[in-house]
Chains A and B, each alone.
Chain A
Amino acid sequence: MALLIDVASGVLIAAGCFFILVGAFGLVRMPDVYTRAHGTSIIDTVGAGFLLMGLMLQAGWSLVTLKLLFVLAISFFTLPVVAHALAQAALHENITPKLAEDRRTRALGKDAPTGTGDESGKA
């Protein structure tokens, strides 16, 4: 049983490390600010997630596991806010995203009078 848990946590930690490495590759390979943020979001979510789950298995049923769970929960609530702030700051600085297609001007369901002009004028 202990061996089984060790193997499972080893696999999870290895998976976490793999995704963190992939995220780092993504950060280097992507062409601009916005696409680089997509690369790092892998680190934030599955990278840290699998790594912490592996550590939780190592810690067993203890307060440490609960605290690791808090770390995971807090990062899942705060990281998207940081990523959003970063991307919005880049947009405010008029860093134009390299786009294959811009669908921001597409019509929405209950769309017409408000909001549209402001949207397309921003970038």
Chain B
Amino acid sequence: MRTISLAIFLFAFWLALSGHYTFALVGAGLLSAVLCALAARHMLVVDPEGHPFQLLKGMVTYLPWLAWEIVKSAWAVTRIILHPGLPISPTMTRVQASQRSAAGIATYGNSITLTPGTLTVGLTNSELVVHALTRDGALDLESGRMDRRVSKFEGTL
């Protein structure tokens, strides 16, 4: 099932990148997509982590939310950078990641890093060490708002 899905995704990717739709080329694309999917299956990498298509449904609502978070905090950091006094208060903290899977924790850590003003610098078990540009940014993370949102995203499997 997952192998078939992988083959379909690979073939769609081929179609998107090729732009030439002759029989020979599309056929070659189909053949190589199927061969790649079979090879991946043989290497045992077609698992929920290697081809996480179960996350697609949650992505639809999670990505816009994350994009808005990024824009908000990017604007906040922009104001700090352009402020003559450079009002930063660098703070390091650690937060608990409540996600169950490795992919979920990785999503949380990457989301923190993608959001300007906060940066994941370390990870032990399910604890993230975070460097924040301002104290407020660190406190916002400690409140667990983003953690809950990522867990919700993970829960939509």
Name A's B-contacting residues (CB within 8 A): 19, 22-23, 25-26, 29-32, 34-35, 37-39, 41-42, 44-46, 49, 63, 66-67, 70, 76-77, 79-81, 83-84, 87-88, 90-91, 97-104, 106, 108-111, 114-115, 118-119, 122-123
Contact = CB atoms under 8 A, between A and B. Distances in A.
Given A45-B114, A103-B91, A103-B93, A119 B127 contact: yes
Given A34-B131, A115-B125, A41 B116 contact: yes
Ranked nearest first, the 4 interchain pairs of A and B with the lowest CB-CB distance are A80-B113, A100-B89, A103-B93, A80-B110
5 contacts: A22-B78, A26-B81, A104-B92, A108-B94, A108-B127
B72 to A, nearest CB: 10
B77 interface: yes
B133 interface: yes
Interface of B: 16-17, 19, 67, 70-71, 74, 77-78, 81-82, 86, 88-96, 109-111, 113-122, 124-125, 127, 129, 131, 133, 135, 138, 142
Given A41-B116, A88-B121, A104 B90 contact: no
A84 B119 contact: yes
Nearest to B80: A26
A104 B93 contact: yes
Contacts of B119: 34, 37-38, 41, 83-84, 87
B96 A87 contact: no
A92 B86 CA distance: 27
B78 to A, nearest CB: 5
A118 B124 contact: yes
